[in-house]
Structure formats: C-alpha cells, structure tokens
C-alpha cells in the first residue's frame, strides 16, 4: 500500500479517511506527500477561512510564541481581552467566554441557558448539528448520531426546521432557549427562511426565551458578513463560534449579552486552555483580516453564485443551489462520486448528507480559482452525460 492510501493502525477509526496524505498547505492549495497540488474548497471544513498559512496570522502567532504560550485564567491575559473586545465591538454581544472548539462553545451555551433560566428545556431543530460531546450531541437533532451512547442530556425537544408549526409548539413548551444554525451546514446546507426566523424571533422575545445562534460554521465571514445573524436582522442573546475564528488554530467562543452572561460567575464554568494566548493571537489577527475583507467576500460570493447558476442552466441533474455567502450547497441525486471525481482532477470538496455537494472555498479565493473550479465541476457533470451542450 502506498503512503497515500495507508491508514495508521494507531489511530482510532473515527474518520473514513480519503487516500491523500497532506503535507503542506499554502493559500488556496493543499499539497500531498507526492507533491500533488489540490485546490482546497473545503477550507478544513470552514476553518481555514483566510486560506492556508495566512501571513498576518502567522506573524501574530510567531510574535506570541516569543512572549507567552499559556497562562492560567486566574490571571489577566491581554490577548484574550483584545479578542473579546474585538468580538464584542463587531457584534451585538457584550461579553465572551473562550474555549477550544465548537462543541465546547455549545456546551457553554447550554449551561448558560440552564443557569440563566433555572429551566432544563431547550428546543433545537431537525437536521441540526451542534457537536459530539454529550451535551451538544443531545442538542443535535440527528438521532443516528446518538445511537450506542445510552441516555443523553434531558430537556431537548426537536422540532421541524423552517416549519411554522414549530412556533406554536415553542409557545406551548416555553423552553429556556431555542438553539439553531442559520444555515444548517452538516445537515445539508439549508438556510433558514427569513420570514420563519422573523416569527421565531418574535415568539422567543415575547415569551422570554433565549435565542442561541450556533455560528460555528456560518461565523467569521463565511456567510458574507462577520456573523450570519446580521443578514437576518435580529440580535441573538447568545452565539457560539469556533472553526474560522483561529484560521486553523484551535479556539472556540461563546458570546452573550450581559443580561445573560451575568449568570456565569467565578467557578460556574471554565477551561484550562480556553483563551490560550496563542489561540487568541490567531483570533485577533483573523478578525482584523476578515472584517477588512468583508466587501470583497460578498463580491466574490455573488460571482461564484452567478457561475453556478449558469452551470445549472445546462445541467438538469442539479436539483438546487443554496447557501449563504461562501457556504454553498449543490443538491444532486448522489453527491459522493463528485468528491472522488473532483479529487482526481486536483480539487477538494465536501458533501453534506447523501445528496449535497458542499463547497467551502477560502474567503480569499480568486476569480480565476472559481473559474477553474467551475470548469472542473462542469467536466465531471459532462462525464456523467449530465450537461446539455
């Protein structure tokens, strides 16, 4: 077996690994151990939003390496304060709690909602994905992911996403919180309907129910704004972040309005590594870079959509194109062969469920790279006889 296809026996088999051994990443490209170049339209699943090794973040990390790597949260940590201040200044939130991943950020949000309300019940929606630790897994309304893990956390109610019948049920249940993604990423790149969100927000505000928006995948510019909620015209009480926040350096965060955040006092929640100075240095530079890039991201996302819509005209096997900003889904009958065929041509993409091709280019992607991607995608559709000439 070549190094490209060999899977380490020392690793648990929690992932079905593709036959590529990645050695290096630079800009929009990954390189394998044979030196083959791949146009990376996965961005580490919406994580390397500024491409691989973005220079400014690399410099910030290098500087931080020379001063402080880790320090207990028992002390004031300037980089942490700087990141919290950047995030709150650029959002509707007042305070930040730092952790290391998306699932941890959601754990924090679940605990905060319970502490704030004194209630256990939280509504989440079908096909959601909130993480793999037991609390976030309990919130994830995909029962196939629950199998084999025994009893989960009490209090979660799963209601249909984008369905009006869910709103009367929420009024009836009066949960502590409603927790949702504005575009369900893992669940098939499904954007929430604007009108439905308007009604959901009204229902929650009227009944004193917390709005927790999981922006782990949609956040940090991926949607075309720093946070996707900005495009839906409301202010959540709590949001959760990870993935793109550190440009590939592990970090998670929960942001909250002070009226809710004040329920957490000393000893109520914590994390040894949460707010680590290196992670926060990566976060500070990432936010500075992404906020400066936002108009360009919207421009390039519009161009990408136009190119895909044009391809759709001649490709009847495209069932639907959907998404927000540079979180893009193309629904087809069977998505898996596309991952393989594009990989053969040096382009990496993802799926989201069995029939959605998920495209997550770096936010720094160029027009030429998008055009190349479209040419390769069209070629793969043509190989299947799916394009009208």
Ligand X SMILES: Cc1ncc(COP(=O)(O)O)c(C=O)c1O
Residues at the contact surface with ligand X, assessed by CB under 6 A: 101-103, 106, 129-131, 181, 185-186, 214, 216-217, 242
- The three-state secondary structure class of 102 is helix
Instruction: Give the span between the Cα atoms of 255 and 84, in whole angstroms.
Output: 9
Cβ-closest position to ligand X: 102
**Closest approach of Cβ 362 to ligand X, in Å?**
17
| Residue-wise DSSP of 261-328 | HTT--TTTS--SSTT-HHHHHHHHHHHHHHHHHHHHHHHHHHHHHHHHHHHHHT-TT--EEEEETTEE
CB 49 within 8 A of CB 363: yes
- CB nearer to ligand X: give 178 or 380: 178
**Closest approach of Cβ 131 to ligand X, in Å?**
4
Strands 350-351 and 190-191: unpaired
Q: Please say whether the dihedral angle defined by the alpha carbons of residues 334, 335, 340 and 345, taken in this order, is positive or negative.
A: positive
CB 287 within 8 A of CB 247: no
**Closest approach of Cβ 129 to ligand X, in Å?**
5
- CB nearer to ligand X: give 21 or 133: 133
**Closest approach of Cβ 128 to ligand X, in Å?**
8
- CB nearer to ligand X: give 102 or 362: 102
**Closest approach of Cβ 365 to ligand X, in Å?**
20
**254: part of which helix (H) or strand (E)?**
strand 252-256
**Closest approach of Cβ 276 to ligand X, in Å?**
15
- CB nearer to ligand X: give 91 or 103: 103
| Residue-wise DSSP of 335-346 | -HHHHHHHHHTT
Put the strands of the sheet holding 356-359 in their side by side order: 320-324, 327-331, 356-359, 350-351
- The three-state secondary structure class of 78 is helix
- CB nearer to ligand X: give 109 or 210: 109
- CB nearer to ligand X: give 123 or 380: 123
- The three-state secondary structure class of 246 is helix
- CB nearer to ligand X: give 68 or 145: 145
**Could you tell me the CA-to-CA distances from 101 to 32, 47, 169, 241 in Å, in that order?**
26, 11, 31, 8
**Closest approach of Cβ 121 to ligand X, in Å?**
20
**Closest approach of Cβ 110 to ligand X, in Å?**
12
CB 348 within 8 A of CB 281: no
- CB nearer to ligand X: give 102 or 224: 102
Cα Rg of the chain (Å, integer): 21
Instruction: Give the span between the Cα atoms of 351 and 329, in whole angstroms.
Output: 8
- CB nearer to ligand X: give 125 or 129: 129
Return all residues near 385 (Cβ < 8 A) that are at least 6 apart: none
**Closest approach of Cβ 29 to ligand X, in Å?**
23
């Amino acid at each position: 077996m070549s190094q490209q296809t060999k899977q380490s026996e020392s690793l648990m088999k929690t992932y079905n690994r593709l036959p590529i051994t990645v050695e290096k990443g630079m800009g929009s490209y990954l390189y394998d151990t044979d030196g083959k170049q791949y146009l990376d339209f996965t961005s580490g699943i919406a994580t390397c939003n500024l491409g691989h090794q973005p220079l400014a973040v690399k410099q910030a990390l290098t500087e931080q390496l020379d001063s402080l790597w880790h320090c207990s949260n028992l002390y004031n940590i300037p980089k942490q304060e700087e990141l919290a201040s950047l995030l709150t200044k650029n959002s509707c939130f007042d305070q930040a709690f730092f952790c290391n991943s998306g699932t941890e950020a959601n754990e924090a949000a679940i605990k905060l909602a319970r502490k704030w309300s004194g209630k256990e019940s939280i509504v989440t929606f079908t096909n959601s994905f909130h993480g793999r630790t037991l609390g976030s897994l309990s919130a994830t309304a995909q029962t196939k992911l629950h199998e084999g893990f025994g009893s989960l956390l009490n209090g979660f109610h799963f209601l249909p996403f984008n369905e009006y019948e869910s709103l009367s049920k929420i009024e009836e249940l009066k949960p502590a919180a409603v927790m949702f993604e504005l575009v369900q990423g893992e669940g098939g790149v499904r954007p929430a309907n604007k009108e439905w969100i308007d009604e959901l927000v009204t229902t929650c505000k009227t009944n004193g129910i917390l709005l927790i928006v999981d922006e782990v995948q949609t956040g940090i510019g991926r949607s075309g704004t720093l946070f996707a909620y900005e495009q839906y015209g409301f202010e959540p009480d709590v949001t959760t972040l990870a993935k793109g926040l550190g440009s590939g350096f592990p970090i998670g965060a929960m942001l909250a309005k002070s009226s809710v955040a004040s329920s957490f006092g000393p000893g109520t929640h914590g994390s040894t590594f949460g707010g680590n100075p290196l992670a926060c240095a990566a976060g500070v530079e990432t936010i500075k870079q992404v906020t400066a890039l936002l108009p360009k991201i919207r421009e390039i996302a519009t161009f990408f959509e136009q190119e895909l819509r044009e391809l759709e005209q001649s490709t009847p096997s495209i069932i639907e194109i959907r998404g927000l900003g540079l979180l893009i889904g193309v629904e087809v009958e069977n998505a898996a062969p596309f991952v393989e065929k594009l990989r053969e041509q040096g382009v990496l993409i993802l799926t989201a469920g069995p029939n959605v091709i998920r495209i997550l280019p770096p936010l720094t992607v160029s027009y030429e790279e998008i055009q190349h991607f479209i040419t390769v995608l069209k070629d793969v559709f043509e190989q299947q006889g799916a394009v009208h000439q």
